[in-house]
A and B are shown apart, each in its own frame.
Chain A
């Protein structure tokens, strides 16, 4: 028996190899890593980490993964996610200086906090349940409070304003969510080499979180195989975009700071992740040398490019690519080793200036009005300098127009009056039908659902500025619904402005390039920008007020009823009899003396105490009591007034 098994083992091994080869030859799981570095015009440096992990379509039952994270594939299978994007961001993308019309900014400029959107592959009735379960699963996976997005007051179902047209799309964002190491840790654990090896080893937590902007993004999409019996493949794209300020010693303010990887991150790259198919570092220099000759293939030309009068690179690039306005140096980090770590540096020799391409319109959003009762939200779209040069103008009926989509979610306690929507183009109020092409409104319901506004504007090409304003009333929350720091105010999530007729892409004209980063740049992406998060101060109760009210009311009640009971229960006749008997006992008491003294003064005979009418005494007593009560109540009211004033 044993010998039989022994003879079978090599056969089994061979078979498993054959199976592996058969599957491998078709398509295997692929992982690639890349880092894009880009100096920014405002003396900062952008570092964009890009990791892509592809799982090919395979049998949905008994799926085994070599590189692809199991947690993600389980997520996709369990909740039937077709496409999903989750981003954690802190800081605000500076569209003016860091660019607004390139694939990098349109994909990685994200709203502050957490943003999650997902398209499901389930029947319409189950979408909300799937969304709820997905938020919980993600909150466990990424150590964040994403589960707050489960309540129907925090998410919405955009129809066309978001850019992805699907009725199974859900979108939600949490502007207040903190982003820190605990979110990056599980994100890194999805990578095959974690942060131990390869490009991800650069991610020193203090340097990443010291940056001006950091956005950690996870995008996954399923690829239908089209074959019967096979599940769908998954493409997982993980990016981390950081904007850092290199430390500079030069005093010249117009000189760009020189930097190296070790000065930016405090670490160097020691070898690539061995599981990665490709691991490259790219350096993009924008707006330069565009006028020079196109042929860069010769050695001398290439040498000129990386060591010239303007700047020096510390390492020789493997290849140089060129786009219409930017240069791309490609470095392969496979050659680096422990003894010779990869530490790319850029040294500027001459002051240089350039500008980034901007979106046709720059959006800002602000609040108007004052007080705790009502206000208005305004979105201002300003034309940028580059507007005329951009492609994507649509000429309809002889008019040149720019299309802009606005997508906005309002929490239910910001009660928006949609009839107050006003649109101004170049300071002139326009009627709706002139510029408003399409509008979709879903009003909010108190404590049930949030409001959503989708608008498509068609503005003339020569527009200088456009403004949209809408009025709202501030709602009241139940005392239990206020967060612990309610006095800080409440956030209105960012609005999304997208330009459906403008698409950004960077084509480096390399047909053979298999780099996922470059191919993602090559794809035409919708130009979009997020506005600021608005902070609305709502009427917040003084949380100690109920306690104050209870104590003061109780005091007043106690005083009132105590004295009332005293008055009602008092038996005057008995008291008088008692006093009389006392008087009879003490003939030379102090009272006797006093009464004699008063009698002397008044010149009247001594009156016995019994002569006082009981009615008079009781009325005197009660009036005295009432006076006392009023005095105490007045003192209490005054105290309350002064204490609240303080």
Chain B
């Protein structure tokens, strides 16, 4: 009896995990700077630094949605037109020659942000402004700006609540818009923004805990404002050492944050993310490293690798419809045959039912069940 229950549970867990068996096929990045005004220069520099990093590690421009709330590069106050720096040594122009900004200025609103995540756009919106991810996508979502307890301010005019973010992520999960999602937030009290998340496959990193501020790293006296935030600065310090072929794990990224240097405590929420962090390379999110399969024939290897899963997942549907047709035909002899073709869970349930029917003294079974339950309760209470 117990064995049967165990098998049923296993069957359940198998049914749930079967959705996650799609392989990782592509990478996307959504990078958001939510702050307007010149004195928030550092937020744009943060976002552009990440943009440069993910581009360097292999995510192409058409798979990066870059949202910048203000124009800093050609701002009248910028001493260095068309250039943005994240360090006072001015060695690296983050704006470069090939930057492509998808949403800028007044377009960076909570509404547009949620539209990008959930993919609910007007028909006329061009492809370059859409997040066209699928169930095999790994998405990096980076946000920076001014935040507080469970909110992030957009342009000093509206707020993104942690509930909004959680709802959007949930909707994305239901629409199969990602396989794994990494949310990285550099704001004050960033950890609170993740409180409401509940979708599986989501990994979250915040720059500070509740009640903590995230500070800027240093001031550039030529530009006149602070140019980078501490959390992003040390994230970049970690990535600058890497190239596209390095196998550094997420764990090593997380360990590289030193609370003394950050002046805040970096927070990771990993309970929704199943894989072991030490085994996940950072390029799963911050780069686009694809496994290349060499084949002699054109389509063979591809079909053996990916479409097996598809066939498995499509099987029950076909079988069920077949089963329905057979039932309609009312052929009792074939019943056994069709039942054997059912999914293991259904099969098990039917078996259980049959065995229960066969029992002559049902009362003993019920009593036995109650006794087992009492036993389980006793064990659990003693453990607690």
Residues of chain A touching chain B, judged by Cβ–Cβ distance below 8 Å, are 90, 132-133, 136-137, 139-141, 143-145, 147-148, 150, 176-182, 185-186, 195, 205-206, 208-210, 482-485, 543
CB distance from A540 to the nearest CB of B (A): 12
CB distance from B131 to the nearest CB of A (A): 13
Q: Is the CB of B106 within 8 A of A483?
A: yes
Q: Which residues of B contact A147 (CB under 8 A)?
A: 107, 124-125
Q: Is the CB of B95 within 8 A of A145?
A: no
Q: Please tell me if B260 contacts chain A, counting CB pairs below 8 Å.
A: no
Q: Which 7 A-B pairs have the closest CB atoms?
A: A140-B126, A178-B71, A180-B74, A136-B124, A209-B81, A484-B155, A484-B157
Which of A133, A137, A205 is in CB contact (< 8 Å) with B97? A205
Q: Is the CB of A178 within 8 A of B81?
A: no
Q: Please tell me if B164 contacts chain A, counting CB pairs below 8 Å.
A: no
Within 8 A of A (CB), among B121-137: 122, 124-129
Contact flags (1/0) for B117-157 with A, using CB distance below 8 Å? 00000101111110000000000000000000000000111
Q: Which residues of B contact A195 (CB under 8 A)?
A: 97
Contact flags (1/0) for B89-116 with A, using CB distance below 8 Å? 0000001111111101111000000000
Give bound CA distance, A136 to B81, whole Å. 28
CB distance from B46 to the nearest CB of A (A): 17
CB distance from B227 to the nearest CB of A (A): 17
Given the interface pairs A137-B126, A178-B71, A209-B81, the reply to whether A484 lies near B36 with Cβ below 8 Å is: yes
Q: Please tell me if B319 contacts chain A, counting CB pairs below 8 Å.
A: no
Q: Please tell me if B73 contacts chain A, counting CB pairs below 8 Å.
A: yes
Which of A141, A178, A543 is in CB contact (< 8 Å) with B74? A178
Q: Is the CB of A145 within 8 A of B107?
A: yes
Which of B80, B97, B104, B125 is in CB contact (< 8 Å) with A178? B104
CB distance from B116 to the nearest CB of A (A): 13
7 contacts across the A-B interface (CB closer than 8 A): A140-B127, A141-B128, A178-B104, A185-B100, A205-B82, A205-B97, A483-B106
Which of A139, A145, A180, A485 is in CB contact (< 8 Å) with B82? A180
Q: Which residues of B contact A136 (CB under 8 A)?
A: 122, 124-126
Q: Which residues of B contact A186 (CB under 8 A)?
A: 100
Given the interface pairs A90-B74, A143-B101, A182-B100, the reply to whether A484 lies near B95 with Cβ below 8 Å is: no
Q: Please tell me if B83 contacts chain A, counting CB pairs below 8 Å.
A: yes
Q: Which residues of A contact B104 (CB under 8 A)?
A: 143-145, 178, 182
Q: Which residues of B contact A179 (CB under 8 A)?
A: 74
Give bound CA distance, A176 to B105, whole Å. 10
| A137 closest partner in B (C-beta) | B126
Q: Which residues of B contact A144 (CB under 8 A)?
A: 104
Given the interface pairs A90-B74, A180-B71, the reply to whether A484 lies near B97 with Cβ below 8 Å is: no
Chain A contact residues: over half helix, strand or loop, or mixed? helix
Residues of chain B touching chain A, judged by Cβ–Cβ distance below 8 Å, are 36-37, 71, 73-75, 80-83, 95-102, 104-107, 122, 124-129, 155-157
Give bound CA distance, A323 to B106, whole Å. 48
CB distance from A114 to the nearest CB of B (A): 11
Given the interface pairs A140-B126, A484-B157, the reply to whether A177 lies near B105 with Cβ below 8 Å is: yes
Interface centre among A132, A484, A485, A543 (most CB of B within 10 A): A484
Which of B125, B129, B156 is in CB contact (< 8 Å) with A484? B156
Q: Is the CB of B155 within 8 A of A181?
A: no
Q: Which residues of A contact B122 (CB under 8 A)?
A: 136
Q: Which residues of B contact A484 (CB under 8 A)?
A: 36, 106, 155-157
| B101 closest partner in A (C-beta) | A182
Q: Is the CB of B101 within 8 A of A210?
A: no
CB distance from A183 to the nearest CB of B (A): 9
| A139 closest partner in B (C-beta) | B126
Q: Is the CB of B124 within 8 A of A209?
A: no
Interface centre among B75, B82, B97, B122 (most CB of A within 10 A): B82
Give bound CA distance, A329 to B95, whole Å. 36
Q: Which residues of A contact B128 (CB under 8 A)?
A: 140-141
Q: Which residues of B contact A180 (CB under 8 A)?
A: 71, 73-74, 82, 95
Interface centre among A144, A181, A205 (most CB of B within 10 A): A181
Q: Is the CB of B129 within 8 A of A140?
A: yes
| B83 closest partner in A (C-beta) | A206
- Apart from A137-B126, A144-B104, A178-B74, 17 more pairs, CB < 8 Å: A136-B125, A139-B126, A140-B125, A141-B126, A141-B128, A148-B106, A178-B75, A178-B104, A180-B95, A181-B73, A185-B97, A186-B100, A206-B82, A208-B82, A483-B106, A484-B155, A484-B156
Give bound CA distance, A483 to B81, whole Å. 25
Which of A143, A178, A485 is in CB contact (< 8 Å) with B100? A143
Q: Is the CB of B81 within 8 A of A182?
A: no
Q: Is the CB of B95 within 8 A of A181?
A: yes
Q: Which residues of A contact B80 (CB under 8 A)?
A: 206
Give bound CA distance, A583 to B71, whole Å. 77
Interface centre among A133, A182, A195, A483 (most CB of B within 10 A): A182
Q: Which residues of A contact B74 (CB under 8 A)?
A: 90, 178-181, 209
